[in-house]
């Protein structure tokens, strides 16, 4: 059985969705954020030294390999566990796009969105600095829009783990990063993933999630 250590309103929602899509059995241990700092609770450090979420523990894995952290690493682990389902497509170009967006989600797209979130909590100075960050975010959103205008999913014609990885930063972008109906392909993609039965099932398992 896989246990997902799930922090509310966090990247770990993607892991629940991935597990639902793959039909793998799992249980959820929920953690609430500190209401003053919005940080993860210290209890998560008992699971992983960094005290971050998501973390999964697979009791079927060999000793020393049971705990997996970082969303991208978890997606790749679950893909391998499910015999390659939702992994890279066979076509070379699609496989390359799969790998690119699997890493782009957290490596390039998420950082400026996180900076904008942090600046939004800084009085006076933060508001002005946010205006400098938005053009950087817009470059990414225009790029994403151009990609989704060409194909239904990030890798190509098929839904993959790359789409799951891209969901959280784009949901965050719609919440605070300027993503709206002015980028119709991206907005339609978000509506499509939110309608998937596995996505809805993951919401029921994970509890309240502000970005859906």
Spell out the CATH class of 92-196: mainly alpha
Is the confidence at residue 184, as pLDDT, over 80?
yes
What digits encode the pLDDT tens for the residues 3-47? 999 998 899 999 999 999 999 999 999 998 888 887 888 999 999
Burial 142-164 (b: 16+ CB within 10 A, else e): eebbebbeeeebbbbeebbbbbb
Tens-place pLDDT, residues 108-124:
999 999 998 877 776 66
Write down the pTM of the prediction: 0.93
Name which of 24, 156, 29 is nearest 99 in CA terms: 156
Across the chain, mean pLDDT equals: 93
Average pLDDT (171-184) is: 95
| Higher-pLDDT residue of 209, 79 | 79
Q: Please say whether the beta carbons of 41 and 32 come within 8 A.
A: yes
* Confidence category of residue 90, pLDDT binned at 50, 70, 90: very high
pLDDT digits (tens, 9 = 90+) for 35-88: 888 788 899 999 999 999 999 999 988 877 899 999 999 999 999 999 999 999
- With 80 as the cut, is the pLDDT of residue 127 above it? no
**Residue 171: predicted pLDDT:** 97
Q: Is the pLDDT of residue 125 over 70?
A: no
So where are the chain's domains? 2-86+198-206, 92-196
pLDDT at 158: 97
96 vs 89: CA distance, rounded Å? 9
179 falls in which pLDDT band (50, 70, 90)? Answer: very high
C-alpha span between 156 and 151 (Å, rounded): 6
Of all residues in the chain, the percent with pLDDT exceeding 70 is: 97
Q: Which CATH superfamily is domain 2-86+198-206 in?
A: Glutaredoxin (3.40.30.10)
Contact yes or no for 176/132 (Cβ under 8 A): no
Average pLDDT over residues 179-201: 97
Check pLDDT > 90 for residue 128: no
For position 124, what pLDDT does the model report? 63
Residue 202 · residue 20 · CB < 8 Å: yes
Q: Average pLDDT in the 161-175 region?
A: 97
pLDDT (0 to 100) of residue 65:
81
């Amino acid at each position: 059985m896989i246990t997902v250590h799930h922090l509310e309103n966090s990247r770990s929602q993607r892991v629940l969705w991935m597990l639902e899509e793959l039909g793998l059995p799992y249980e959820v241990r929920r953690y609430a954020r500190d209401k003053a700092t919005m940080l993860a609770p210290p209890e998560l450090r008992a699971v992983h030294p960094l005290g971050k979420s998501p973390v999964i523990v697979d009791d079927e894995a060999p000793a020393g390999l049971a705990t997996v952290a970082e969303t991208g690493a978890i997606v790749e682990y679950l893909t391998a566990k499910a015999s390659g389902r939702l992994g890279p497509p066979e076509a070379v170009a699609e496989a390359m796009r799969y790998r690119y967006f699997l890493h782009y989600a957290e490596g390039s797209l998420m950082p400026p969105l996180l900076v904008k979130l942090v600046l939004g909590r800084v009085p006076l100075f933060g508001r002005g600095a946010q205006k400098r960050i938005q053009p950087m975010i817009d470059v990414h959103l225009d790029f994403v829009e151009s990609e989704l205008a060409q194909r239904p999913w990030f890798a190509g014609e098929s839904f993959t783990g790359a789409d799951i990885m891209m969901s959280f930063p784009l949901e965050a972008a719609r919440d605070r990063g300027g993503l709206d109906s002015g980028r119709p392909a991206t907005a339609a993609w978000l509506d499509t993933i939110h309608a998937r039965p596995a996505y809805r099932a993951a919401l029921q398992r994970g509890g309240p999630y502000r970005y859906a």
